[in-house]
Structure 1
Amino acid sequence: MEKMNKEFGTAAVGIGVGLKSIGEAVGSTLRYPEDGLDFVTDHILKDYDQLDDMKVVDPYKCSNLKKIMDDFRKSKERFPNWGSGNNVAGPMTTATSIRSLEAILKDSVRRKEDLHRLLDYCVECNLSWIRAVTKEFGVLPVNIAEPAASLSVLSKKQFLEFEKPHLQDMIAGIKEITGRMPTTHICGKTKGIWEDLIEMGFTSLSVDNSEDLEEVKHCVGDRMRISGNVPPVEVLKYGTIDEVIASVISCLKKGSDSPMGYALAAGCQVPPGVPRENLYAYIYAARKYGRGAKKGCLPKGLSETV
C-alpha cells in the first residue's frame, strides 16, 4: 500500500470479505492463483440438510476472516489517517460462494423455500461480519457488491422474489449496526432494477460498463450518487493510452453533472495485468479533465479543455 501511495497517490485502505470469503469461512474450497482472481473449486452446500447444521460465522473464530481483520488492523496502525471502507457481498453473491450458481438457479424453481433459507443465512453471516468490524474499528462506510443479482444472471421476477427481500433485510441490519445506509456496485445489466435499488435506500450506485452512464444519470441521478464506468478489460487492460484517456473523458461528459454527485471509477474490478502506463493515463485524465469538479456541474477541466 505504501508503494501504491507513492506511485499512484492512493490514500485508502479497505477491509472486506470480498465475494467469496464467507463461503470459505463455512467450508467451501477456494483457489488463489498467483496471476488471477480467486475462485471456488468446491461448494460446501451440496444438500440443504447440511444447512441445518451450519452456524452463522463468527469472524473471531473463522481463520480467514480473523486474518482479514488482523491485516486491516496492522494497516490502520501504519496508515492511521487514510480513509477506510468495509466491503461485503450481497445475499445472492454470498450464496454462490456456498452453493453453485447452477444449483441456485434450479432451486429458484424447484426448492424455493430452501433458497430463501440459504439467503437468510447469508444475510446473517454478513451482518455478523459487519458487527465485528464495527466493534473493532468503529463505523465504516459499507459497500455491497452483488454481481450474482444482476439482470445478466437473474430475471426481474427472480430478483423480486428472491434477492430483493433479503437485500432489504441486509440493508436494514447495516443501518441498525452502523447508523448509515450502504452503497452498492452491481456488475452486468441493472437498468430494470434501478428503481428497486432507490426504493431500498442505497445512497450510491456504481454501474458496470454494460450500462450507459448518461442514461443512469437521467434515470436516477437526482436521487442517488452514481459511479462508473471505464471498461476495466477492453479499455484499462487491453486499450491504448489514448483509449483510456478518451474513455475517462467520455465518462466525465456523461456523468459528472449528475445532480446528486458522480464518482469516476472502473465499470468493475480492475483485473490483474493492467499495464502501468494505462493506470497512469487514467489518473492523468482524471486529474486533468476532472479538475474543479463540483456536484451537479461539468468540471472546469473538462469544459475548458475539451
Structure 2
Amino acid sequence: MTYEELKEEILKYPDTMNNMERMKGYAMGQVVDRIPFSVAGGDTYASIYGYTQKQYRESLDVQFDVAERAKKEFCGGGMYANTGLGLRGIGEAVGSTAVYPENDFDYLTDFILKDYDMLNDLKFDPENNEFLQGKIEMAKKIVERMDGKAMVITGGAGPMTTAIAIRDASSFLRDLVKDPENADRLLDFCVDCNLKWIEYNQKVFGKVVVSMADPATSTNLLSPKLFQRFSKPYIQKQLNGIKELTGTIPGVHICGHTKKIWNDIVEVGYPSFSVDNCEDLAELKAEIGDKVKISGNVPPVEVMKNGTIDDVIHSVQECLIKGSDSPCGFSLAIGCQVPIGTSRENIEAYIYAARRYGRGAQKGKLCKGLYEEGLVS
C-alpha cells in the first residue's frame, strides 16, 4: 500500500468513541468501536514534528505543541504532567552520571555505587535534590498552565532495574551470586526510593497515576531461580507499598524474554502485562490470559522503524489474531519503546490497521473486523 492509498483508506475507519468511553466500555465487556491501543510517546512524536530531543526535554511550549498535534493526528492522550523517573532517574538522583544527547534518549555513563560501603551514604531526598525538584517544578508549570486539570503521572522502574542504575549491571549481577546480602540491601534501598518518590508526588499534587517498567528483571539477565530469589520479593514489596499509598497497582512492561516467569508476574499481583515482541502473544494468552490483561507486541525496530506500511499492517493483524480474544482483555501495543526516527507513515499505518481490523472489539472475543475482512473464520 502506498502512503497516498493509506491516507484515503484511513478516512473510512474513524473512531466513534473517545478513549475514556472505549476503555470503560471494553473493561465492562461491551462491544467498542475498535481495540484499545497505545502508540508512541512524546519524544518519538517530537522528531516527526521537527524537534530535537533536547528541545522537547527543555521547552514546555514544545511539549504542549507535540501533545496537541499528536492528539489530533495519532490518537494521543493529550498533555499531562509527567514526573516519572523512567529507568535511570533514581540512579541519577543519587549520583550516577547521566548523559542527555542532543537528539537521542538519555543514558548513564558512570554508576555511583562502587562498593557497598557507600550505600549508607546514598541519599534520595525529593525535597532537596536538584534533579528531582526539576521534575516537580516542570510538572507544577504544566498543571498551572492547564488550570489545575492536568493528570499527573509518576513512577519509574522495578527494583532490579533501579539497582542497575545505581551499581553497574555486571557488578550487580555478580553480587547476586557472590554477595547476596549486599544485593538485598541495595534492592531494599531501591524499593524505598521508588515508594518515597510516589509518596512525595502525592504530597505535592494529590492524586497521581503510577506507571512501571522493569526490563532488568527479564530472563535475558536473570535465571528464573535468581528472579524468584531476588527480583520477585522486592517487586512484591514495591507493589504492596504502591497499593498502600495509592489504592491501586500499576501494570508493567518488561523488555526481553519473560516466558519462564509469566506465572510469577501473575503471582506478584500485576493486573496487566505488556510483553516484548520477542515473545509470542498466543503463548502468553494461553498461559496467563485468563488471569491478567495482556498487551503487545508489534516489533518496534524491525517493523515500526524499518518496515514498510504493509509490514506494519500485517504485524497488527497478527497481533490481533493472536491476542484480541484473551479472556481478561487485550490492548494493542508496540513491543517496546518506539524508536526516534520512526516515520509518520508507519505510525499512521499502525493506527489504520488497528481501526480497520480491530473494529468491534470485545473482551474475550476476536475483533469483528478480523471476521469481516476474512482474516479469521
TM-score category (smaller protein): over 0.9
Q: Is the 2:89–2:156 Cα contact (8 Å) retained in structure 1?
A: no
1:254 to 322, 326, 329: 322
Deviates more, 1:211-220 or 1:81-90: 81-90
Q: Is the 1:11–1:83 Cα contact (8 Å) retained in structure 2?
A: no
Q: Runs ≥4 in structure 1, deviation > 6 angstroms? A: none
Indicate whether 1:116 and 2:189 are aligned. Answer: no
2:129 to 44, 62, 70: 62
Q: Is the 2:285–2:326 Cα contact (8 Å) retained in structure 1?
A: yes
2:104 match: 36
1:202 to 247, 270, 282: 270
CA–CA separation in structure 1 for the residues paired with 2:289 and 2:217: 21
CA–CA separation in structure 1 for the residues paired with 2:362 and 2:296: 17
RCO comparison, higher one (Cα < 8 Å, 6+)? 2
Q: SS of the counterpart of 2:360?
A: coil
Matches within 5 A, 1:178-197: 178-197=246-265
Gapped regions of structure 2 (runs ≥ 5): 1-66
**For the structure 1 residues 266 and 76, does the alpha-carbon distance in structure 2 shift closer, same or farther, using more than 3 Å as the test?**
farther
Q: Is the 1:209–1:267 Cα contact (8 Å) retained in structure 2?
A: yes
Question: Aligned-pair distance for 1:38?
Answer: 1.2
1:7 to 69, 73, 95: 73
2:217 to 149, 168, 173: 149
2:47 match: none
1:222-264 superposed Cα distances (whole Å, 9 cap, x missing partner): 1100001000011101000100111111111111111111111
Q: SS of the counterpart of 1:195?
A: helix
2:356 match: 288
1:47 match: 115
**For the structure 1 residues 262 and 77, does the alpha-carbon distance in structure 2 shift closer, same or farther, using more than 3 Å as the test?**
farther
1:182-217 superposed Cα distances (whole Å, 9 cap, x missing partner): 211111111111111111111000000011001111
Indicate whether 1:175 and 2:243 are aligned. Answer: yes
2:26 match: none
Measured on the aligned residues, the alpha-carbon RMSD in Å equals 1.6
Q: Is the 2:273–2:292 Cα contact (8 Å) retained in structure 1?
A: yes
CA–CA separation in structure 1 for the residues paired with 2:209 and 2:143: 15
**For the structure 1 residues 75 and 264, does the alpha-carbon distance in structure 2 shift closer, same or farther, using more than 3 Å as the test?**
farther
Q: TM-score, normalised by structure 2?
A: 0.77
Indicate whether 1:95 and 2:183 are aligned. Answer: no
CA–CA separation in structure 2 for the residues paired with 1:303 and 1:199: 35
CA–CA separation in structure 2 for the residues paired with 1:261 and 1:78: 36
Q: Is the 2:126–2:132 Cα contact (8 Å) retained in structure 1?
A: yes
2:138 to 71, 84, 89: 71
CA–CA separation in structure 2 for the residues paired with 1:126 and 1:256: 33
CA–CA separation in structure 2 for the residues paired with 1:95 and 1:148: 9
CA–CA separation in structure 1 for the residues paired with 2:178 and 2:370: 53
CA–CA separation in structure 1 for the residues paired with 2:131 and 2:320: 39
CA–CA separation in structure 1 for the residues paired with 2:203 and 2:357: 40
Question: Aligned-pair distance for 1:9?
Answer: 2.6
Larger Rg: 2
1:23-72 superposed Cα distances (whole Å, 9 cap, x missing partner): 000000011122222111110110110001112x2223222222222323
**For the structure 1 residues 137 and 290, does the alpha-carbon distance in structure 2 shift closer, same or farther, using more than 3 Å as the test?**
farther
Q: Is the 1:241–1:277 Cα contact (8 Å) retained in structure 2?
A: yes
Deviates more, 1:32-41 or 1:75-84: 75-84
Question: Aligned-pair distance for 1:16?
Answer: 0.8
- Between the aligned residues of both structures, percent identity stands at 54
1:124-162 superposed Cα distances (whole Å, 9 cap, x missing partner): 000011112222333334232110110011111111111
CA–CA separation in structure 1 for the residues paired with 2:330 and 2:143: 27
**For the structure 1 residues 302 and 136, does the alpha-carbon distance in structure 2 shift closer, same or farther, using more than 3 Å as the test?**
farther
Q: SS of the counterpart of 2:361?
A: coil
Gapped regions of structure 1 (runs ≥ 5): none
Question: Aligned-pair distance for 1:74?
Answer: 3.1
Q: Is the 1:60–1:66 Cα contact (8 Å) retained in structure 2?
A: yes
**For the structure 1 residues 212 and 106, does the alpha-carbon distance in structure 2 shift closer, same or farther, using more than 3 Å as the test?**
same
Aligned length: 305
CA–CA separation in structure 2 for the residues paired with 1:35 and 1:184: 27
Question: Aligned-pair distance for 1:78?
Answer: 4.2
